[in-house]
A and B are shown apart, each in its own frame.
Chain A
């Protein structure tokens, strides 16, 4: 030991011997000519441990693409061939990312399922070699370890992960409509047990390092380090590597066992799942649950269950074969293409196309501590923005502050925050009734009641106190921003920021720019939105902007369908079985019947007949009777605290009866009802693109799915047109047009696409 220390210090670390734990020789010997520097994967040797470093060039993340894979295989072959190497450590040189997953484009470029099957089988073979390696391999995980990255990690003999918030493990494949296709479906159940493996693969949820340790997904945790004589991230990775090397040595010297002590619960679970009858029950239960949640619209979860089952019941050969086959099949499905499209769209909408604003927004003020205002405050303080929450009354303000506190406290209960962090975040929020301190505010977001006169008054009051550079953003769902800006002294600083309720849960933010809004103002709004963790679409101003405008014709159709005698429950089940997460009638209740009425009236005035169909009288009468939806306890349904099952509000029946219209039998089948709703939505979305309200179809899809709950399996209105066929949509519209008239007239853009076979996504 002394000798090795001497060599170590002589060869390299004379000055900094103390920086390394003594005991192993720190020689990075590069075998001169044979070892060329590779682009993605390189390795050095510490003593008898090979340290394989993954670092894709010019990218923030490592993805398992073809080059990386082939380099990895080369490197591993060299390691296996080298007698002086007895064990290996796999580590990423990128802080915050181990391997973020397989390269999605690699799958997207495949034309046939056969090609995808081949990809899967190559992956399976590589990882099987890792699993069977006689030289122990330790995966040192810091940052995201997802999809293919996780499959790689669980093929290793040992896993060590950094215990920080950036380190997450998971199998998100299901969210892209595919399955873990490189042995994951086979290894995961063995490693964490069948129930936990199903949970991971069917939800795609991210698992934090400490949870992963408890589950047996990783064997050791390494605490993240603070600053030392170099930046914390850098040193933490170095430390992780040092620890991993010690464990690799320990494993190859047989001083450490890769086997893990299981807890009592784990032992019980593994005993239970060894009984075939219980396994069958688990499959059945999980299948039922998936059916209930997906309504059979998503093939991937069912296939995952099937593949896992095959592997466990028929052995791993059959399992691997089944995995690659199903992987190939799934990759070719419309659902997968739609979901992958959404993924790309989401990535796009998380980028700031407008650049950094001239002045960074540090101090934010929100007017109105209602549901929206408090929600916006919560997502702002959460990300470190100093926020003033202003309301007109002490009671209103108190309610809003309580909402923010509750939102944060719920995170504490879920262990996403500590109570101390909650307190320090909450202290960034200032509640007040006056404009004190507004002279230092960089952006004001107003979330007062949707009334133009009120918004005008507020705008004038605020402009009297805010500094010159301050942006005024209006959170409105339907009032045109240029009308609000009409009374502004500086309309270039006025912008719309349309949040969706509940703000802390809904990812979308629709930013609305008028002709006069300056680019810097837009950049400011986008930067703040991104900071708040939002997915952002930027649209032009107009009645209802994009999201509300698409929803309005569909809602009008909802009223007509109800008037034609379909009861709300039936309508809900028709819409949810089409893939909408919330039924149409329930949606009206959630949004608020008064809001729906308000919007329908406004947009009806702006767009005329095209937005007609249902009789607004229904909403008006409901409002007059106080049936405002969930907030008033009664809408189409009755809502009671603590009661889960919803009962229809029988008092609405009489209103419906008085407005009853005879259904048109030729367009009233279940399918027709669904398509009447969806085609009106899609047609209006296309109209928005045609009129330039929307800049790109991708933003349209993201807006519809993330803001309005358009079925994700269809990928959004534009992706839906591409996958379903523009001609078919136009045909449907024509059919309904023949019965109902103008409301279904297909827009020119759709007709063009139908005629030219053009697609929104090339």
Chain B
């Protein structure tokens, strides 16, 4: 059925939109009424392409995202990743030996488990014959894990891939200073007592000063919050607007949590502690309370505060991706298709967090869709100011013409379709794990609300960005 439709549409490609609609109607009459109504207004009925394997998300889970320094603080990253994998196995009942490959995203690496995907997979009981690798691309690491998996399936290398992401901000590698490291390494090589003593005699107290990792750009040495504050100022986003948006995120997240919509969350029994069942960063407050906070980065007059930024989070996510035929053969009812995706990058200084603005029109064009085709937007919320700045950039002809090489603006995503179950500001943002959460949120929202296309977009350190179209699997 689908393939017939695709063929029809392939042939129609050059005809006008009107003709397209005209054709859809008679077609839809004969097929399921429900799907037809949704498809009526769409530029394309489906994004299935001839000669390209359809790739589906069977399901995806995440352990609850917790403020760093809370219940996960004594664990290691692979513990979290393992919990997510176990949750996924439990949720999908996929036989472990079917999985061809595992890919995880992570940002701040625990040096002991630098290929955290492999450690977690072994611990979760996957076959030791299943290879696994870890990718890193700042806040879009999990997205990179997913799209790597998509690539493996599309090229026919694999049929079943598990993609995920993990971040443990409760414990970060604090290193000895370079001088100290150098001395320790030299000591290791020193053969005689004399050599050792002469090395030790060079020791100075300042060697002991530790090196802390910072959420800062290497190229510009600017912390991300600082850049976000400047970005907000560049687009004249006020403090109040930012606080309002943050409040919206927390309120919507709370609502979604209370209504049990966050079905991707799986409980996690933390060793030696309680079982965690839900995210703990959702804190709807009041504008008055939020207004009291001092700016966190540009002092004393900046607009980015702790309340309108995403917080340091521990968490992990995992999802089961398959070739559609394989999933159907195994009797699965997939949740969504993973469709076109793009990666973009721009100036890491002044446009650090504008990835979604650049990625959104590009992925839409690639898929042949328009903004109005999208039923669910899931954007990564690094900062309120970043989301609002992206909105203003997307709504500006001047920006589109002068920086994006477009004739007209991208256009605003309608708020009623935007992050309606909360976002990184409220649910939390474990850097390496957020991507899968975004895709699952889009898929679950489409399932719940009956839409067809979802758009996932995110910005990342390094001035990079990503967007992907998620298409609901027909019911």
Interface residue A264 (Cβ < 8 Å from any Cβ of B): no
Chain A facing B: main interface SS? loop
In the bound assembly, the distance between CA atoms of A18 and B238 in angstroms comes to: 7
CB of B239 within 8 A of CB of A225, answer: no
Q: With A18-B237, A21-B238, A22-B240 in contact, is A226–B218 under 8 Å at CB? A: no
Q: With A18-B236, A228-B399, A229-B398 in contact, is A223–B219 under 8 Å at CB? A: no
Chain B residues numbered 350-369 whose CB sits less than 8 Å from any CB in chain A: 350-351
Q: With A18-B241, A243-B301, A418-B220 in contact, is A227–B236 under 8 Å at CB? A: no
CB of B351 within 8 A of CB of A228, answer: no
CB of A226 within 8 A of CB of B351, answer: yes
Q: Which of B219, B220, B233 has the most CB of A within 10 A?
A: B233
Chain B residues numbered 364-416 whose CB sits less than 8 Å from any CB in chain A: 389, 392-393, 396, 398-399, 402-403
CB of A225 within 8 A of CB of B230, answer: yes
CB of B392 within 8 A of CB of A229, answer: yes
CB of B398 within 8 A of CB of A223, answer: no
Interface residue A213 (Cβ < 8 Å from any Cβ of B): no
- Chain B residue with the shortest CB-CB distance to A247: B301
- Chain A residue with the shortest CB-CB distance to B301: A243
Chain B residues numbered 224-261 whose CB sits less than 8 Å from any CB in chain A: 226, 229-231, 233-241
Instruction: Note all chain A residues with C-beta closer than 8 A to B236.
Output: 18-20, 228-229, 235, 239
Chain A residues numbered 199-227 whose CB sits less than 8 Å from any CB in chain B: 220, 223-227
Chain B, interface size category, equals: 20 to 34
CB of A420 within 8 A of CB of B218, answer: yes
Instruction: Note all chain B residues with C-beta closer than 8 A to A414.
Output: none
Q: With A227-B402, A229-B392 in contact, is A21–B235 under 8 Å at CB? A: no
CB of A223 within 8 A of CB of B240, answer: no
CB of B238 within 8 A of CB of A227, answer: no
- Chain A residue with the shortest CB-CB distance to B217: A420
Instruction: Note all chain B residues with C-beta closer than 8 A to A22.
Output: 238, 240
Q: With A18-B236, A246-B301 in contact, is A229–B226 under 8 Å at CB? A: no
Total A-B pairs, Cβ < 8 A = 70
- Chain B residue with the shortest CB-CB distance to A16: B236
Interface residue B201 (Cβ < 8 Å from any Cβ of A): no
Q: A157-178 interface mask toward B, CB cutoff 8 Å, 1 = contact, 0 = none?
A: 0000000000000000000000
- Chain B residue with the shortest CB-CB distance to A238: B236
Q: A336-371 interface mask toward B, CB cutoff 8 Å, 1 = contact, 0 = none?
A: 000000000000000000000000000000000000
Q: Tell me, rounded to whole Å, the shortest Cβ–Cβ distance linking B389 to chain A.
A: 8
- Chain B residue with the shortest CB-CB distance to A19: B236
Q: Which of A220, A232, A239 contacts B350 (CB 8 A)?
A: A232
- Chain A residue with the shortest CB-CB distance to B352: A226
Q: Which of B241, B298, B399 contacts A223 (CB 8 A)?
A: B298
CB of A418 within 8 A of CB of B221, answer: yes
Chain A residues numbered 228-248 whose CB sits less than 8 Å from any CB in chain B: 228-232, 235, 239, 243, 246-247
Q: Tell me, rounded to whole Å, the shortest Cβ–Cβ distance linking A241 to chain B.
A: 12
Chain A residues numbered 245-291 whose CB sits less than 8 Å from any CB in chain B: 246-247
Q: Tell me, rounded to whole Å, the shortest Cβ–Cβ distance linking B454 to chain A.
A: 27
Interface residue B347 (Cβ < 8 Å from any Cβ of A): yes
In the bound assembly, the distance between CA atoms of A420 and B221 in angstroms comes to: 9
Q: With A21-B238, A420-B220 in contact, is A227–B233 under 8 Å at CB? A: no
In the bound assembly, the distance between CA atoms of A420 and B235 in angstroms comes to: 27
Instruction: Note all chain A residues with C-beta closer than 8 A to B218.
Output: 420
In the bound assembly, the distance between CA atoms of A227 and B349 in angstroms comes to: 11
- Chain B residue with the shortest CB-CB distance to A246: B301
- Chain B residue with the shortest CB-CB distance to A18: B241
CB of A225 within 8 A of CB of B221, answer: no
11 sampled A-B residue pairs with Cβ under 8 A: A20-B236, A22-B238, A225-B233, A225-B234, A226-B230, A226-B234, A226-B351, A227-B399, A228-B234, A229-B392, A229-B398
Known: A21-B239, A224-B230. 7 other contacts (CB 8 A): A21-B240, A226-B347, A228-B234, A228-B399, A239-B234, A420-B218, A420-B219
Q: Closest 7 A-B residue pairs measured CB to CB?
A: A226-B350, A228-B234, A225-B234, A19-B236, A228-B235, A229-B396, A420-B219
Interface positions of A (Cβ within 8 A of B): 18-22, 220, 223-232, 235, 239, 243, 246-247, 418, 420
